[in-house]
């Protein structure tokens, strides 16, 4: 079985904070990461007819094995609020309870909230000129370096 792969906007301040949050709370070291600006993300998304240049969406590929990247089933790709809920649930403990509480909201409402935050994320959380380099202790979990 593979690892969940988080695809995030590497220059977005909010996305980078979420990645650091996931790293801090991922006690099992299950998550892997790649920025949406990477060749890996472009290949994975293009194989699913998703525009890899659209940076306003957060994705999680469940059971990513790192080898047969182009033949993962469609059901393995989660996006936007579903991807965020999946990450929170997998982190366990208190975050699983947060995911369950957020899961009570209708998907349409969660997606609306996601779109509002995504639209304003650069203005509120900033934007990096380049993707920040991760700490050496977790660098092996970033597949686009």
pTM: 0.88
Mean pLDDT of all residues in 83-98: 95
DSSP strand pairing (3-8 vs 32-35): parallel
Digit-coded pLDDT (tens) for 5-39: 999 988 888 888 899 999 999 999 999 999 999 99
For the chain, the structural domain boundaries read 3-130
Contact 82, 102 (CB under 8 A): no
Pairing of strands 59-64, 3-8: antiparallel
What is the per-residue pLDDT across 37-79, written as a single tens digit (0 to 9) for each?
Answer: 999 999 888 888 888 888 788 999 988 876 545 445 555 889 9
In whole angstroms, give the CA distance from residue 133 to residue 36: 15
């Amino acid at each position: 079985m593979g690892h969940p792969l988080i695809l995030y906007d590497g220059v977005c301040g909010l996305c980078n904070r979420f990645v650091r949050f996931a790293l801090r709370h991922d006690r099992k070291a299950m998550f892997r990461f790649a920025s949406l600006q990477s060749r890996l993300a472009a290949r994975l998304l293009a194989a699913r007819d998703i525009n890899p240049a659209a940076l306003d969406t957060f994705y999680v590929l469940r059971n990513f094995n790192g080898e047969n990247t182009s033949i993962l089933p469609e059901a393995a790709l989660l996006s936007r609020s579903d991807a965020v809920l999946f990450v929170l649930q997998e982190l366990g403990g208190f975050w699983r309870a947060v995911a369950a509480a957020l899961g009570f909201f209708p998907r349409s409402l969660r997606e609306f909230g996601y779109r509002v935050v995504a639209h304003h994320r650069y203005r509120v959380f900033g934007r990096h000129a380049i993707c920040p380099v991760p700490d050496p202790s977790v660098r092996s979990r970033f597949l686009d370096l």
